[in-house]
Amino acid sequence: MNREEARKRAKELVSKMTVEEKASQLRYDAPAIDRLGIPAYNWWNEALHGVARAGTATMFPQAIGLAAAFDEELMGAIGEIVAIEARAKYNEQSKREDRDIYKGLTFWAPNVNIFRDPRWGRGHETYGEDPFLTSRLAVPFVKGMQGDGEYMKVAACAKHFAVHSGPEGERHFFDAKASKKDLEETYLPAFEACVKEAGVEAIMGAYNRTNGEPCCANKPLMVDTLRGKWGFEGHFVSDCWAIKDFHENHKVTSSPEESAKLALEMGCDLNCGCTYQVIMNAYRAGILDEELITTSCERLFTTRYLLGMFDKTEYDNIPFDVVECKEHLDVAKRAARESIVLLKNDGLLPLDKSKIKTIGVVGPNANSRLSLIGNYHGTSSRYITVLEGIQDKVGDDVRVLYSEGCDIFKNNISNLADPNLPDRLSEVKTVADYSDVVVVVVGLDENLEGEEGDAGNQFASGDKINLNLPLPQRQVLYAALESGKPTIVINMAGSAIDLSKAQDDANAVIQAWYPGARGGADVADILFGDLSPSGKLPVTFYKSADDLPDFKDYSMKNRTYKFFTGTPLYPFGYGLTYGDCHVEEDCNFTLKHENAELAGAEVTVNVVNDGKFDTDEVVQVYIKDMDSSFASVNPSLCGFKRVHVPAGGKTEVKIVLDAKAFTSVNEDGVRDVFGKNFKVFVGTQQPDARSAELTGHKCVAIGVQL
């Protein structure tokens, strides 16, 4: 069904409703209208990395881990699996008249905010710090969810519009100040791509204000940009209870009725929260026109018609047994394997179990289910922790000793002089003494980084106050390193952590993120060489939060790899493999024109693997305008492709660059091609000195003149 037909049917249905009935449909928990044959519908559903909060579902790595895979095709497959499992659940639930929360077909995902600061607790819900990477991953995910059939499979929602990335503890009254340049260059591109390229059906507003106006009633963002400049035709939903903040916290209105009026005037169609319960009060008081209620109601029913909620669809017979089926679990396994990033390896990895008698596994995340799942997750029928993955891998051939070492959360303070040692620190030392190799599994979980109100973070409502591991974990790490035994450090967290000690003293360092319900098995596969790691960092790992601007400063100056002027611990785009891959110097670069206008470019390179291990690799293309002062400080990612490169072989890779790659943004927020001379870099990482130092390879540089 096309949108025009759905809109026509929605108008016809809404025209039969009373004003009270129309108003009732603007709530997330819309009641039934029996006389018109309209069942109750709850709009609230989640699918950040698999169908969430709705019982059993295939659980993929957390979004930041998916970003580390740098794999557009994978994102499309995951989006499609989300939709298939969602339909299977919806079919059964509807059959049983179960129309409660998390039971519908409208999913509030993906989160395409930019992870501008590693202290933000919700950053692991995003695809990292780069607008281009975020766009390229969000578009196939949304397309996979919504499908291309006669009806929409499920409705995706890009959130949180816009300029939203902490602080969590102040989000209900915070005003994020962003320049026109930063808006166009950093904060808006992923939303624009979701609207223009993927046809995302919904947009969710953020809690905070942006440049003085609340994000769920922001004329420049919602009216001028979203529906005006971009031509968005779907529906807009508030974040949950965000409209209540208008009068209670932002103080831009003085009553719930005024808040409802303002939100509707700016085009917020659906209220997750309670404020739209007063719509009729505002209407009866004469401060709210019925036309605004009607318009939003028509948009919402247009979505429901597009989903085929009042028709027979091609998805009605999707059976429940597709949920967590083998094919879907195989994709989750692939995602976990592609997401894991090898940060250091002095040759210890991969492990040869025939040469090891005893492995020590220590740390609070070694046997933690919470460290597998991130937040906004579903329920798995089986979980495999890192400890269990290692135990399963070695079987009876190798003895595995284990110590939790410390609680992940207890005494989470920064002062290393604290005399209170973790209860089991002596056990960690004992395990290390009796082991041939020690695996230290540290990091965070959703109780230490996450959303305000959901997280148990004792400092910052879900945000981090610095980049340190909690003190007890650092003590466990130091104890293992001081043992003198070969040591592998695995960090399971959704954000940048200061791993300087591990980088300096451990034999190998792995960033495993939150790898999904059975991700411990995939970590073990990499440890023992069943496959090569191939993930790349979608965020910069800084050495310290002291290197960063104030958390509340939304200027992009000295933030992310594009603007950071210091030396990172691990750069954006960095990640090692068990192979030895580099790009050959002989590259073929061609500019493309259509009707004398620049239409982009195409680069073809050979990726050579001089190592002895077959591996996937991610070829990355960066660009720098050498003329314009409006260009970002450092080269920007403009293309990437995941490829497989056999040991001792080479693989040809062709990457198409969009014409937008050659643009920059001036201070007025105007995007254009300002320069004539460009430099394009092609490699397996970004073209900075730190990446070259860590990988031993430099990018190939290509001079380009328009």
Q: Which residues are catalytic?
A: 239, 449
CA dihedral 115, 72, 191, 202 (to 10 degrees): -120
- Please give the Cα distance from 309 to 303 (Å, whole number): 9
- Contact indicator for 557, 585 with CB cutoff of 8 Å: no
- Please give the Cα distance from 217 to 612 (Å, whole number): 57
- What burial letters (b/e) apply to 596-606, b meaning 16+ CB within 10 Å? eeeebbebebb
Pair of tokens at residue 15: 């025209």
Pair of tokens at residue 674: 């300002």
Is residue 642 helix, strand or coil? strand
- Contact indicator for 175, 213 with CB cutoff of 8 Å: no
Backbone angles phi, psi at 214, to 5 degrees: -60, 140
- Please give the Cα distance from 569 to 327 (Å, whole number): 38
- Contact indicator for 154, 313 with CB cutoff of 8 Å: no
- Contact indicator for 2, 277 with CB cutoff of 8 Å: no
Provide the 8-state DSSP code for 99.
Answer: -
CA dihedral 588, 593, 598, 602 (to 10 degrees): -20
302 half-sphere exposure, CB direction, 13 A CA radius: 21
The angle formed by the CA atoms of residues 297, 302 and 306, to the nearest 5 degrees, is: 150
Is residue 601 helix, strand or coil? strand
Closest CA to 400 of 527, 531, 533, 529: 527
- Please give the Cα distance from 379 to 683 (Å, whole number): 39
Pair of tokens at residue 21: 């009935």
Q: How many CB atoms lie within 10 A of CB 595?
A: 5
CA-derived radius of gyration, the chain: 26
In the block, residue with structure tokens 């030396």: 567
In the block, residue with structure tokens 């410390």: 406
- Contact indicator for 54, 102 with CB cutoff of 8 Å: yes
Q: With DSSP H G I counted as helix, E B as strand and the rest as coil, what are the percentages for the chain, rounded to 5?
A: 35, 20, 45
The continuous run of DSSP H or E covering 489 comes out as strand 487-492
In the block, residue with structure tokens 């024109």: 593
- Please give the Cα distance from 525 to 350 (Å, whole number): 9
In the block, residue with structure tokens 């600061």: 117
* Residue-level length of the chain: 706
Closest CA to 94 of 300, 316, 377, 303: 316
The continuous run of DSSP H or E covering 343 comes out as strand 341-345
Q: How many CB atoms lie within 10 A of CB 387?
A: 22
